[in-house]
Homo-oligomer: A and B are copies of this chain.
Amino acid sequence: MNFFKYPQLVQASQNPPDLKKLLTPERITSFQAEAAGLKLLYATERVSDPILHALFSLADDRQAVNQMKAMQAGERVNAIQGYESENRPALHTAMRDVFEASKRSPIAQAAVDLAKKEIEKLRMFLPQVEEFTDIVQVGIGGSFLGPEAVYVGLKAYSLKGKRAHFISNVDPDETTKVLSSLDLSKTLIIIVSKSGSTLETMTNELLAREKLKDAGLNPKDHLIAVTGKESPMDDPAKYRASFYMWDYIGGRYSVTSMVGGVMLGFTLGIETYLEFLKGAHEMDLVALEENPKKNLPLLGALLGIWNRNFLNLPTVAVIPYSQALARFPAHLQQLDMESNGKHINKEGKVVDYNTGPIIWGEPGTNGQHSFFQSIHQGTTIVPLEIIGFKETQYGEDLMVQGSYSQEKLLANLFAQAIALAQGQENSNPNKVFTGNRPSSILFAQKLDPFTMGKLLAYYEHKVVFQGFIWNINSFDQEGVQLGKKLATEMIKTFEEVRGRKVPTYKLGEAYLKNLE
């Protein structure tokens, strides 16, 4: 991958379009794309038609859409050529391809059949646990962030009296706080770990079992397993029910598998959960579109590549103007940074260009009263990915001083995009806004379950498309292994210090002196 093979883009990046001059009503109207009811408004990105066309060529050269087709067909996209690697497919799209009969590769078909079976199991299971009011999901990483983001996002659609809670961290205070606030006799606890051996999750499972026993309950009646078939957790003697996931579902892509399914089915009801899956599936089809103006995730990916590799912007802030999406940036942080925070390409060569940026964000308008000072006037330019909806979820609103709250919310959303692009001159240097700070807006009618599914899949595919273009493996996470290895050393050191032995790990011993 050599971005300098694109002289037009390199040249354009030296003198990118000046939004202060270019931002007109016509540009706002024409620089947009729409698919599956989602609109991407990108008039405030520093692009022009020639730049877009050059970016489309780049996607074409990198066979982006063909790679997406290969992924959805079950080819082994999770691999590094010439080296030991996970060497397997990434078939999260099969988890929601459960609505129509269609022609699929045998591998995708097999994954779809298994996914359908789990959904049917869930449909049969839910009526058996109707007397429960609360469900605690014990899991970390992808077994936590995506499910939590979707649960919080769709809380307005939860069944009356059904609530979910999450325990992720190995921090024992977290487990105590969550479990001590609940009536455990009415609580189900899902343990989620593909390997059945995640340190944090296994530890918290045992803490939860103790708490259930202390409350005079039989843990087995309350515990549900979500795990890989034949993992150490796949043991009917220990769980009320077990649901399966597979090695072709990466943690950060697992929300639409049973990793999210059991908890969301419990809180939303099975039909609403299926609506959510349907939305994701609809976006999966959009991602197969050849025309990048219709392929929304690909278009979003290319705008990101422009900002990252040509305008050299190190971060991206995701700003949903919807408090329901408060935890969505934390999910995207994992999805994007764990997928594309890589330093070698798919042939095992060190890359000489930037890969995945730092992803962060908080809801608007909150962010405006926090870090937006820096977004407008700081020395590091931050492109924004703004998300907004025309309608509220609850349908409750009030006119105050001539306008509704939802109107105020959206007025702020659009005003920020304009202000960042246009800037402002002033004789007081502290009131000068340099402008030309890029943003885009992803816009939909309403954050309902169907739209939530589309939004989730939009970002999954945007990230994967960027990985395809950067020629990296977006599906493994070797970068987390060294920390795990050294943590094991450190735990041993703790045990040695506790047992008054001389620790063998001298760096660890030096740190543990701070605990004396």
Contacts and interface: CB of A to CB of B under 8 A. Distances in A.
A334 interface: yes
Interface string A320-354: 01111000001001100110111110001111011
For the complex of A and B, the 7 pairs showing the least CB-CB separation, nearest first, are A341-B374, A141-B369, A341-B378, A411-B490, A334-B370, A360-B360, A25-B510
A173 B323 contact: yes
Interface stretch (A53-61, A130-138, A395-403): A395-403
B513 A348 contact: no
A507 B122 CA distance: 49
A63 B401 CA distance: 49
Given A486-B419, A493-B411, A156 B141 contact: no
A355 interface: yes
A340 B370 CA distance: 12
Interface stretch (A196-204, A267-275, A294-302): A196-204
Interface stretch (A7-15, A220-228, A452-460, A471-479): A471-479
Interface string A375-393: 1111110100000001011
Nearest to A493: B411
**Chain B CB within 10 Å, residue with most, of A41, A371, A419:** A371
A433 interface: yes
A494 B366 contact: no
Counting chain B CB atoms within 10 Å of each CB, the highest count among A210, A330, A354, A487 belongs to A487
Contacts of A410: 490, 494, 515
Contact of A342 (B200, B206, B378, B417): B378
B170 A379 contact: no
Given A171-B323, A431-B481, A341 B373 contact: yes
Given A41-B511, A334-B370, A342-B377, 7 more contacts: A140-B369, A156-B177, A348-B429, A348-B430, A358-B360, A376-B480, A411-B490
A45 interface: no
Contacts of A431: 478, 481
B315 A145 contact: no
A508 B418 CA distance: 9
Interface stretch (A77-85, A112-120, A279-287): A77-85
B397 A172 contact: yes
28 contacts: A32-B514, A80-B429, A80-B430, A84-B428, A145-B366, A171-B409, A172-B394, A172-B406, A173-B392, A175-B405, A177-B323, A202-B400, A314-B315, A330-B370, A341-B379, A342-B373, A343-B432, A350-B429, A358-B360, A372-B480, A373-B478, A403-B494, A407-B494, A407-B498, A415-B489, A416-B486, A416-B487, A417-B511
Nearest to A26: B510
A313 to B, nearest CB: 9
Contacts of A26: 510
A382 B358 contact: yes
A48 interface: no
Interface in A488-516: 489-491, 493-495, 498, 506-515
SS of A interface (majority): helix
Q: Quick one: which of A156, A202, A374, A397 has the most chain B CB within 10 A?
A: A374
Contacts of A404: 172
- Give the contact-size bracket for chain A: 35 or more
A97 interface: no
Interface in A291-315: 314-315
Given A84-B428, A482-B433, A507-B28, A366 B169 contact: yes
A443 interface: yes
Counting chain B CB atoms within 10 Å of each CB, the highest count among A155, A210, A477 belongs to: A477
Nearest to A404: B172
A491 B408 contact: yes
A409 B169 contact: yes
B25 A506 contact: yes
A11 to B, nearest CB: 23
A414 interface: yes
A53 to B, nearest CB: 23
A441 to B, nearest CB: 8
- Looking at A41, A407, A476, which has the most chain B CB atoms within 10 Å of its CB? A407
